[in-house]
Structure 1
Amino acid sequence: MLTLSQDLHDAIVAHARADHPDEACGVVAGPAGSDRPERFIPMLNAARSPTFYEFDSTDLLKLYRDMDDRDEEPVIVYHSHTATEAYPSRTDISYANEPGAHYVLVSTADTDDAGPFQFRSYRIVDGQVTEEEVRLLPAR
């Protein structure tokens, strides 16, 4: 189960809406070994595409160095789908290289500023996708 605060949930959704019609992407870091998402880190979709996302390699290297310095790890890796449901594509599955992370997808397909939208979380390990419950806590 993914447990996160309402404000982190809202920040991920806001980023997805702001970058629409391109896919948004980012990370929520937390203390290493804790499975607690705490620090929202929106990233630039280097592909600038409505059907694909890609972290900029320089930005990603900086992110991992920063997380290492803070003794953090990626608890959530998120991105949006702009025209399809919030389910990992074959490409998403092939790029999922953080077995301990929650992979969150937000679908902005058929939405307006007020919603509706899909917010779903998955574990992706060795190509196997398992959807998990999302539990929201009050905003921090």
Structure 2
Amino acid sequence: MLRIDRTTYEAIVAHARKDHPDEACGIVAGPEGSDRPERFVPMENAERSPTFFRFDPQEQFRVWRDLDDRDEEPVVIYHSHTATEAYPSRTDISYASEPGAHYVVVSTRADEGQGPVEFRSFRIVDSVVTEEDVEVVPPT
């Protein structure tokens, strides 16, 4: 189960809506081994595409180096889908390289990024996708 605080949940949704009609992407970092998403880190979609996302390699290098310096890891890796349901695509599955991460997909397909969103979380290990419950909790 992914337990995420309301402030972080809303930040992910706001980023997805802001970047619509392009896909948004980023991470939520947490202390290594904690499984606690604590620090929201929005990133640029290097593809600037409504159907595909890719972290900018230089930005990803800087972010991952910062994670190492802070003894953190990517607890959540998120991106949005702008025209399809919130479920990992074949490409998303093939790029999933953090077996301990929660992969969140937010769909902004309803009402062009202004209406309700689908917010779903998955574990992706060895190309096997397992959906998990999401519990949104009050901020700490």
TM-score scaled to structure 2, two decimals? 0.97
Alpha-carbon distance, 1:110 to partner: 2.0
In the alignment, which residue of structure 2 is the partner of 1:74?
74
Unaligned stretches of 5+ residues in structure 1: none
Unaligned stretches of 5+ residues in structure 2: none
1:111/1:117 contact within 8 Å kept? no
Paired AA for residue 9 in structure 1: Y
Q: Alignment identity in percent? A: 67
Note the aligned Cα RMSD (angstroms): 0.9
2:82/2:113 contact within 8 Å kept? no
Q: Describe how 1:1-140 pairs up with structure 2 within 5 A.
A: 1-111=1-111, 115-140=115-140
Alpha-carbon distance, 1:116 to partner: 1.3
The one-character-per-residue Cα deviations of 1:32-91 (angstroms, maximum 9, x if unpaired) are 000000000000000000000000000000001000000000000000000000000000
Alpha-carbon distance, 1:113 to partner: 5.9
| Alpha-carbon separation, structure 2, partners of 1:112 and 1:64 | 32
| Alpha-carbon separation, structure 1, partners of 2:82 and 2:39 | 24
After the TM superposition, which segments of 4 or more aligned residues of structure 1 sit over 3 Å from their partners? none
The 3-state SS of whatever aligns with 2:97 is coil
